[in-house]
A = this chain, B = another copy of it.
Amino acid sequence: MSGTVPLRSPRARILLHAGGDSTSAAADIAEHLGPCRNAVFLPYALHDHDAYVASAQEQRDGPLGIQLRGLHTFPSPVKAIASADAIVVGGGNSFRLVAALHRLNLVEPIRAAVARDVPYYGGSAGANVACPTIRTTNDMPIVQPPSLSALGLVPFQINPHYVDPLPPELQVGETRELRLLQFLEENDVPVIGLREGSWLRIRGETAELRGGSGALLFRRGRDTETLRPGADVSHLMAVEPRFDSPEEST
C-alpha cells in the first residue's frame, strides 16, 4: 500500500499552512490568492459545510478581499474544480476531508488544476491532504476513508500543528516526536513537523519555509534537523517517498 505518486509540476503554486492563527501569513496568502476571482473552498473537513464557508468567507473578506464559494454548492464539484482559478482547503478532520476527496472523485481534478498553475492553499488538514498520504495527521479517525492516500502535491509528509514535547508532568501519551519516529519505522518518507506560525511556499521545484516559528525535519536513519524560518527545503521536492517499509516485521 503506498501513497499517491507525487505531482512534480514546474508550474505548481502551493501554500501549506501549519494551522492555528494564519494572520502572520496574510501577505503571502494575499500574494498567492489575491488576483483570483473564482476561488473554490473545500469545507469537507468540518461537518457543517455552509457554516464553515460563511466563517471562512468572513475571514477572507478582511485582509484578502477574495470571494470564496463552497465546492459543495456546485452541481458538479469536478467541473467546478476544472474552472476554478484557486483552490482553498480548510482545516478540521483529515479523515473526513480525504474521505470526501475520494467519494467525490476530486483527487485527479485537483492535481490536474495544480499542474496547470491554479494556486492551492491548504491549512492544517488542508496541508495534510496535499501530501502523498494523511499518515502524519494528528486527527482522530472518526470516519473510514477508502484510502489514506491523498493529493500528492508534494512528495514528502507534513505534520501540522507540530508541538515540542511538554514537560513530563503535562505530557500524556506519546510525544509528537515519538509518533513521527514510529511513522519512520514503517515508512521511508521525510516529514516536516510544521509549528503553528509556519508555512511552506512552493513554486514548481522550489520550496521555502516561511513564518517565524520554524520547523523540524524528520528522516529515517538521520538526526532530526532544525529548520529555521526562511530555510530552503527545495531538496525535499525531489525525494522518492516509500510507504510501508519492507523492514516491517510481523
Contact = CB atoms under 8 A, between A and B. Distances in A.
**Copies of the polypeptide in the assembly:** 2
Nearest to A124: B173
A13 interface: no
Interface string A143-162: 11001100000000000010
Interface string A74-87: 00000000000000
Chief secondary structure at chain A's binding surface: loop
A148 B134 CA distance: 15
B142 A47 contact: no
A250 B104 contact: yes
Contacts of A172: 20, 161, 163, 196
27 contacts: A1-B144, A19-B173, A47-B182, A72-B249, A72-B250, A92-B182, A100-B250, A133-B144, A135-B140, A135-B141, A135-B142, A135-B143, A136-B142, A138-B140, A138-B173, A139-B174, A140-B179, A140-B183, A141-B148, A142-B182, A142-B186, A143-B187, A144-B148, A144-B244, A166-B170, A170-B170, A172-B196
Given A47-B185, A47-B249, A136-B140, 14 more contacts: A47-B248, A48-B249, A96-B186, A103-B250, A135-B140, A138-B173, A140-B179, A140-B180, A142-B179, A142-B182, A142-B185, A142-B187, A143-B187, A163-B172
